[in-house]
Amino acid sequence: MRKTLKTRAAAGAAVLALTAAPSFAAGGGVGVIDHDWSFEGPFGTFDKAELQRGWQVYSQVCSSCHSMEYLHYRDLSDPNGPALPPEQVKAMAAEFEVEVGPDSEGEMFTRPAILSDKLAKPFPNKEAAMSANGGAYPPDLTLITKARTGYTGIIKQMMEGTGGVEYVYSLMLGYTEEPPEGFDVGDLSYNKYFPGHLIAMGQPLYGDDVEYQDGTEATIEQQAHDLVAFLAWAAEPQMVERKQAGLRNIILLIIFGALVWYSNKKLWKPIKEGGEA
């Protein structure tokens, strides 16, 4: 997910726009694509199949530039998440080397990653990442759907979240080969959903970028959907448990309220009848 830029100044300007005002996705009038998600609403849940496909897109397309430093390999086996078999995740983790230590001699050393390790980063530090991307820093994606907003209105945000998933989804589909007439993009890319429309990241998805293991056709829309669903789960992996707990609490409050009303009625009924007599 990157585009090597010729000038650091242009890239820096785009990164500044990216980090300065994410709420422009709604407030700046850019707008987002209204898209349906399985996890929307108070009863929504994550779809394991699309999360597994989303992991494929991230690991095969996005992970070369973007980290997910708050996610551990063991999280990929979460039954309310991608639910990948632990042995499969172990094998994937072992493909990467992580630096640990110090050892008994005070030296750091490397070993294959294990389930308790965080996902491997594409670059050892921020400076290396910026150097490889022409001065632009690829943001960490773990919380990207929380960091970006796409909806306005308290009620809509209460029911469906901030709309960050819609914004990121729209961004993936917002690239155009030719910018509008008179629009000079220079070394950047044009994206109709990005605030200011100039973005340092080149188009990441084109369709058929991955071969889905379940045989699903890898259109650009399907890949964007699956990727953003995976990012939404990564940003809030306890969402399903939170919704279930909230539903249980609401039911208990209704029962408790009914008991209080009934007890209050029974308690005051003799007093009211005595007063009327």
Average pLDDT over residues 8-33: 43
Q: Residue 38's pLDDT band (boundaries 50, 70, 90)? A: very high
> Any residues with CB less than 8 A from the CB of 158 and at least 6 apart, and which?
none
Could you tell me the pTM of the whole model? 0.79
pLDDT digits (tens, 9 = 90+) for 206-241: 999 999 999 999 999 999 999 999 999 999 998 888
pLDDT at 10: 36
User: The tokens of 79 are what?
Assistant: 């039954």
What proportion of the chain, given as a percentage, has pLDDT over 90? 56
Per-residue pLDDT band at 43 (split at 50, 70, 90): confident
Closest to 11 measured CA to CA, from 97, 132, 168:
132
Beta bridge partners of residue 110, listed in sequence order:
99
Chain-centroid distance, C-alpha 186: 29
Pairwise CA distance, residues 116 & 178, whole Å: 45
Convert the pLDDT of each residue in 154-205 to its tens digit: 666 666 666 899 999 999 999 998 888 878 888 899 999 998 899 999 999 9
Give the architecture-level CATH label for domain 1-71+127-237.
Answer: Orthogonal Bundle (1.10)
Of 140, 149, 154, 184, nearest to 167 by C-alpha is 149
CA distance 186 to 104: 54
Retrieve residue 26's tokens.
């709604």
Comparing 16 with 91, the larger pLDDT belongs to 91
Nearest by Cα to 162 from 180, 153, 147, 150: 150
Q: State the pLDDT at residue 104.
A: 87
